[in-house]
């Protein structure tokens, strides 16, 4: 066995290493100081325990200004003949502040560096309560802005919080204080952590910060080897579970398996406190196994996630005959409102709508037939769809869109702005609109739709009983198209707002629309100005009907 003096010496060396680790984390450096700052004994201890790595330094040629320019103070040979070697002589200089050391010393592992830095913050008496408080996460910078944090600092903070609530007996090798002194210091810092985390407004944190808070509380709550919790850590996790927002979003935050495990744990504790949640897991990269773990919780009311992954999960649950989980995974899914910004988003939605229409996951398996007997609830509840692929990628996704739209029977808001639909696309859209009897808002702005396209659209638009807002802003509609619209306006009984401004209407087209407007008692606004309309004509129309607007 090691002697007491040997153990005390090692504890002192570990204490010094912890301090060095924290200095490195603060400066975002894995390099250790050289020369007198790092004593030989400490360096030897770090190398022996493989906490340090030592690498030989590279050398470089340093040429004096006089040599390179051939003037000023020249580095000549004192015995003469220096002029013949002007510009050719240099000297080697180690890339280190200490020329006597030809090796550089680094931390062998950033994870261990962060751990030791956490040991210093939480278990060292040289770190005052005030200093410790300033190192805690979620500090506000100028004007209340949250300061961005580096990964190694976040890891250090996580370790520091966890160590404070760890089994004190297991921490004996990391300090050399008396039991009373150590207990008082830990209790004081535990109080600071508890007050700080309980003072957070979780609804004001970003999704990434909410995830990080879950990690801190988990570290504090489950640091004991047997998984038990002390009263202080129990208070923390209970407070977190009670104060998380009901709509819990991790949208755009990468969720790897450890993240999912921590979130799952927090949500389960929330369930014991009577809390239920709505999860947003879109663009998180969560694995299907992680999706299953979270969606399967009893206190999850709804969830959003990548539709392709959701369908994969459903298929796996069907194949494993887990009807209860499948029933929950199907009924809890929400996709409203949906914004498609990539072609794959449209492709995945098309597959989901196909499942909804056929009321089964696959032709080869019928176990889900009873669960999908009424279709997919999320598809039936989709009321708003924004198609935002843009003019370049839009045409690539439009064919799939035309096929899936008839399955969205309850769609109320369809936004296809700037998708380069054209007259051909307008024809396809007209066919699809026949199935959308619930549609209330249709945005077709900036889509290169001309007279032929708008004429084809009017045959369907007149029969949409709930359509109250139609935008054809900035297309290529001329007087012929305006007359087609004017002919159906009186039949569009629910329409209250029409925008055909910035098209190619002349005085003929706007007068046709103005005359039709007199027969549309429910219309509130008609916008139709463009540079082709004589000012006097438009002004006269406005005087006749105040519902006609410039913009």
Burial 448-464 (b: 16+ CB within 10 A, else e): bbbbbbbbbbbebbbeb
Residue 477 sits in which domain range?
383-549
Angle between helices 40-48 and 4-26 (to 10 degrees): 90
Total count of domains within the chain: 2
Reference 346, options 299, 411, 297, 393; nearest CA is: 393
Burial 469-482 (b: 16+ CB within 10 A, else e): bbbbbbbbbbbbbb
- In the listed set 312, 337, 362, which residue is the last one of a domain according to the structure? 337
Same domain for 304 and 437, yes or no, is no
Same domain for 262 and 333, yes or no, is yes
Same domain for 272 and 420, yes or no, is no
CB neighbour list of residue 333: distance below 8 Å, 6 or more residues apart: 302, 303, 304, 305, 310, 376, 377, 378
Same domain for 408 and 310, yes or no, is no
Same domain for 317 and 422, yes or no, is no
For residue 40, tell me if it sits in a domain.
no
- Give whole-number Cα distances, 254 to 208, 211, 251, 259, in Å: 9, 10, 8, 9
Q: What is the pLDDT tens value at each position of the chain, 551 positions in all?
A: 455 677 778 888 888 899 999 999 998 888 887 655 678 888 888 899 999 998 887 654 444 434 444 444 444 444 344 444 444 433 333 344 444 457 788 999 999 999 999 989 988 888 888 888 888 888 764 444 444 457 888 899 888 888 888 876 666 666 666 677 777 888 888 888 889 888 888 888 999 999 999 998 888 876 544 444 455 567 888 889 999 999 999 999 999 999 999 999 999 999 999 999 999 999 999 999 999 999 999 999 999 999 999 999 999 999 999 999 999 999 999 999 999 999 999 999 999 999 999 999 987 677 778 899 999 999 999 999 999 999 999 999 999 999 999 999 999 999 999 999 999 999 999 999 999 999 999 999 999 999 999 999 999 999 999 999 999 999 999 999 999 999 999 999 999 999 999 999 999 999 999 999 999 999 999 999 998 898 889 899 999 999 999 87
For residue 10, tell me if it sits in a domain.
no
Contact 467, 411 (CB under 8 A): no
In degrees, rounded to 5, the angle at the alpha carbon of residue 377 between the alpha carbons of residues 376 and 382 is: 105
Element (H, E) at 150: none
Strand 52-56, strand 103-107: pairing: antiparallel
Same domain for 274 and 419, yes or no, is no
Query: What pLDDT is attached to residue 173?
Result: 62
Query: What pLDDT is attached to residue 187?
Result: 85
Same domain for 165 and 241, yes or no, is yes
Same domain for 320 and 404, yes or no, is no
Same domain for 293 and 418, yes or no, is no
Looking at the DSSP bridge assignments, the partners of residue 94 are: 59
For residue 293, tell me if it sits in a domain.
yes
Same domain for 310 and 413, yes or no, is no
CA–CA separation, 60 and 91 (whole Å): 8
Query: What pLDDT is attached to residue 223?
Result: 54
For residue 39, tell me if it sits in a domain.
no
User: What is the CATH classification number for the domain harbouring 421?
Assistant: 3.80.10.10
Strand 300-304, strand 469-471: pairing: unpaired
Contact 454, 472 (CB under 8 A): yes
Burial 137-170 (b: 16+ CB within 10 A, else e): bbeeeeeeeeeebeebbbbbbbbbbbbbbbeeee
User: What are the pLDDT digits (tens) for 358-384?
Assistant: 999 987 677 778 899 999 999 999 999
The verdict on whether omega for the bond into residue 337 sits within 30 degrees of 0, i.e. cis, is: yes
Burial 67-92 (b: 16+ CB within 10 A, else e): beeeeeebbbeeeeeeeeebeeeeee
Q: Find tokens 């760890």 and name the residue.
A: 166
- Give whole-number Cα distances, 368 to 136, 142, 235, in Å: 49, 55, 43
Contact 164, 220 (CB under 8 A): yes
């Amino acid at each position: 066995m090691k002697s007491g003096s040997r153990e005390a010496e090692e504890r002192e060396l570990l204490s010094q290493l912890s301090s060095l680790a924290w200095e490195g984390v603060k400066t975002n450096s894995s390099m250790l100081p050289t020369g007198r700052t790092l004593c030989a004994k400490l360096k030897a201890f770090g190398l022996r325990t493989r906490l340090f790595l030592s690498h030989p330094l590279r050398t470089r040629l340093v040429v004096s200004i006089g040599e390179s320019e051939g003037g000023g103070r020249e580095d000549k040979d004192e015995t003469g003949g220096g002029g013949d070697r002007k510009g050719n002589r240099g000297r080697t200089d180690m890339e280190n502040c200490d020329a006597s050391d030809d090796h550089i010393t680094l931390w062998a592992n950033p994870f261990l560096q962060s751990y030791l830095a956490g040991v210093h913050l939480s278990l060292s008496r040289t770190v005052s309560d005030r200093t410790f408080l300033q190192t805690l996460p979620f500090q506000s910078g100028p004007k209340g802005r949250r300061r961005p944090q580096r990964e190694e600092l976040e890891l250090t903070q996580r370790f520091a919080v966890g160590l404070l609530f760890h089994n004190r007996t297991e921490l004996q090798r990391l300090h050399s204080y008396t039991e009373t002194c150590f207990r008082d210091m830990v209790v004081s810092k535990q109080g600071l952590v508890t007050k700080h985390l309980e003072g957070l407004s979780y609804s004001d944190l970003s999704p990434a910060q909410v995830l990080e808070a879950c990690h801190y509380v988990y570290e504090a709550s489950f640091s004991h080897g047997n998984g038990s919790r002390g009263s202080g850590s129990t208070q923390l996790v209970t407070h977190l579970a009670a104060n998380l927002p009901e709509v819990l979003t991790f949208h755009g935050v990468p969720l790897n398996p450890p993240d999912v495990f921590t979130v799952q744990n927090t949500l389960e504790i929330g369930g014991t406190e009577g809390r239920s949640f709505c999860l947003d897991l879109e663009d998180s990269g969560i694995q299907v196994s992680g999706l299953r773990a979270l969606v399967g919780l009893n206190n999850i009311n709804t969830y959003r996630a990548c539709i392709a992954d959701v369908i994969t999960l459903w298929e796996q649950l069907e194949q494993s005959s887990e009807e209860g989980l499948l029933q929950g995974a199907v009924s809890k899914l929400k996709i409203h409102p949906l914004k498609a910004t990539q072609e794959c988003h449209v492709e995945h939605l098309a597959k989901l709508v196909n499942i909804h229409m056929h009321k089964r996951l696959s032709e080869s398996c019928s176990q889900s037939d009873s669960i999908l007997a009424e279709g997919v609830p999320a598809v039936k509840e989709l009321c708003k769809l924004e198609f935002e692929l843009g003019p370049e990628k839009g045409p690539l996704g439009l064919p799939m869109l035309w096929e899936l739209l008839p399955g969205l029977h309850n769609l109320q808001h369809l936004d296809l702005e700037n998708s380069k639909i054209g007259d051909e696309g307008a024809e396809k859209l007209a066919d699809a609109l026949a199935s959308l009897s619930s549609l209330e808002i249709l945005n077709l702005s900036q889509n290169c739709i001309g007279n032929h396209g708008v004429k084809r659209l009017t045959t369907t638009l007149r029969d949409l009983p709930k359509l109250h807002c139609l935008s054809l802003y900035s297309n290529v509609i001329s007087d012929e198209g305006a007359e087609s619209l004017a002919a159906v306006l009186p039949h569009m009984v629910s329409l209250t707002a029409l925008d055909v401004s910035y098209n190619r209407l002349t005085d003929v087209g706007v007068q046709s629309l103005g005359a039709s407007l007199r027969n549309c008692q429910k219309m509130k606004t008609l916008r139709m100005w463009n540079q082709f309309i004589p000012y006097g004509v438009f002004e006269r129309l406005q005087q006749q009907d105040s519902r006609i607007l410039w913009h």
